[in-house]
């Protein structure tokens, strides 16, 4: 039986750091208020395109795996915040990397986009359609944020990460997954102002209004991720004590703690970096995966549990067996250009643009 092992990984975080104190300079909030409710202390703000971050993350993942871009058979780009919708982001990344005529597709299931993309690429490898795949989770949320809405502007940040999957006979990579969606609850998390529906209704496209019902989202998130974790563990015939590390979607600390408690897994076996980056949507799980490896939290042949939820309301959990290698074969020197503005200046520019009614 063919498996799809994870052989490369790479992340790219914007240089600009937006602290809670920065937010308090124009919002009625404070560091104590934000940390006590979310566990978030700062987030990154990009002064570049989404494609720039994805290119750096992908180049680092390829080097880590010891592959060239021309070796790729497939690129899956998971995101909600495209630079372009047509043509898609994956085709642009293919061109930037020099990956030749490999397959290239975008996938949008909001915050679960990376893990849904991991499932899609794994399935294509298992069926023999492709052998080497690049899966990206990347978001540039800051231009779409309503920075005067305290309920959401404290939560989100920008970032990107990527992994390489390769066909192998070893039992590694995604072993089992549970994918699901509470479509009847999709209205509790909606960004008005993106998409053709808003032009049709007379709204100004690009000037967003966030519909975000926090308490209901919390309940659905914990339930969905909890049920998905139970499903994969049950089908795998393993217990929670067999899980070496949980690498969850980093929505906020309360949700992470609630999911771990429901699963019966101690927080010392849960990787958390939400305090540094906030919720990067599709980028949270792959960035956390990269940092868990950097920190030595993932050992050879470790068993990982990776749950997530996102707008839609999509949810999932993936049971992953790591391979024998936890360090890069090579490294890439590709970097983002130095930003021309601070994170706070970028955000203030977005606020001024909204006041003028410009997307």
**Paired strand residues for 342:** none
Q: Which residues contact 81 (CB under 8 A, 6 or more apart)?
A: 50, 139, 140, 141, 143, 144, 281
Q: CA-CA distance, 179 to 32, in Å (whole number)? A: 36
* Cis amide prior to 354 (ω within 30 degrees): no
Would you say 64 and 331 are in contact if contact means Cβ atoms under 8 Å apart?
yes
Q: Give the C-alpha separation, 342 to 15, whole Å.
A: 9
Q: Respond yes or no: is residue 249 known to be catalytic.
A: yes
Which entry of 12, 48, 111, 316 is annotated as an active-site residue? 111
Report the C-alpha gap between 339 and 342 in whole angstroms: 7
Return the H-helix or E-strand segment holding 134.
strand 132-139
Asked whether 260 and 222 are in contact (CB, 8 A), the reply is no
Quote the DSSP letter at residue 146.
-
Which DSSP string corresponds to 67-96?
--GGG-SEEEEE-SS-S-SSS-HHHHHHHH
How does DSSP classify residue 167? E
Q: Which of 102, 249, 252, 316 is catalytic?
A: 249
- Residue 145 has a CB neighbour count (10 Å cut-off) of 22
Active site annotation includes 181 = no
Following DSSP, what letter does each residue of 300-344 receive, concatenated? TT-EEEEEEEEGGGEEEEEEEE--S--S-SS-----PPPPSS-HH
- Determine which one of 108, 279, 316, 318 is catalytic: 279
Give the torsion sign (CA, 115, 121, 124, 126): negative
Active site residue 151: no
If you count DSSP H runs as helices and E runs as strands, how many of each does the chain have, helices first?
12, 13
CA distances (Å), origin 230, targets 50, 218, 238, 261, 267 = 34, 18, 10, 12, 17
Torsion-angle region of 264 (φ positive above 0: left; ψ -120 to 50: alpha; else: beta): left
Q: Which residues are catalytic?
A: 111, 249, 279
């Amino acid at each position: 039986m063919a498996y799809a092992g994870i052989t490369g990984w790479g992340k790219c975080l914007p240089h600009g750091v937006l602290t809670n104190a920065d937010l308090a300079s124009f919002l009625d909030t404070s560091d104590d208020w934000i940390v006590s409710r979310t566990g978030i202390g700062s987030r990154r703000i990009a002064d570049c395109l989404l494609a720039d971050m994805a290119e750096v993350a992908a180049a680092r993942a390829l080097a880590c795996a010891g592959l060239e871009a021309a070796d790729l058979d497939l690129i899956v780009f998971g995101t909600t915040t495209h630079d372009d919708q047509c043509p898609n982001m994956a085709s642009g990344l293919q061109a930037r990397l020099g990956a030749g005529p490999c397959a290239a597709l975008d996938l949008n299931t909001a915050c679960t986009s990376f893990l849904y993309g991991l499932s899609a690429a794994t399935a294509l490898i298992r069926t023999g359609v492709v052998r080497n795949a690049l899966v990206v989770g990347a978001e540039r949320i800051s231009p779409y944020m309503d920075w005067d809405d305290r309920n959401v502007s404290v939560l989100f940040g920008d970032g990107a990460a990527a992994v390489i999957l390769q066909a192998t006979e070893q039992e590694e990579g995604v072993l089992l997954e549970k994918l699901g969606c509470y479509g009847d609850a999709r209205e509790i998390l909606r960004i008005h102002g993106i998409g053709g529906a808003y032009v049709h209704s007379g709204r100004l496209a690009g000037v967003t209004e966030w519909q975000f019902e926090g308490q209901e989202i919390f309940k659905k998130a914990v339930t969905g991720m909890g049920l998905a974790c139970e499903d994969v563990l049950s089908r795998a015939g393993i217990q929670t004590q067999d899980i070496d590390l949980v690498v969850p979607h980093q929505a906020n600390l309360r949700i992470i703690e609630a999911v771990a408690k429901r699963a019966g897994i101690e927080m010392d076996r849960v990787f958390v970096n939400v305090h540094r980056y906030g919720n990067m949507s599709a980028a949270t799980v792959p960035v956390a995966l990269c940092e868990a490896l950097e920190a030595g939290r993932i050992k050879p042949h470790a068993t990982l549990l990776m749950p997530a939820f996102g707008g839609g309301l999509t949810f999932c959990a993936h049971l992953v067996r790591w391979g024998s290698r936890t360090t890069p074969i090579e490294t890439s020197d590709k970097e983002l250009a130095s930003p021309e503005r601070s994170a706070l200046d970028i955000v203030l520019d977005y606020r001024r643009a909204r006041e003028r009614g410009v997307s």
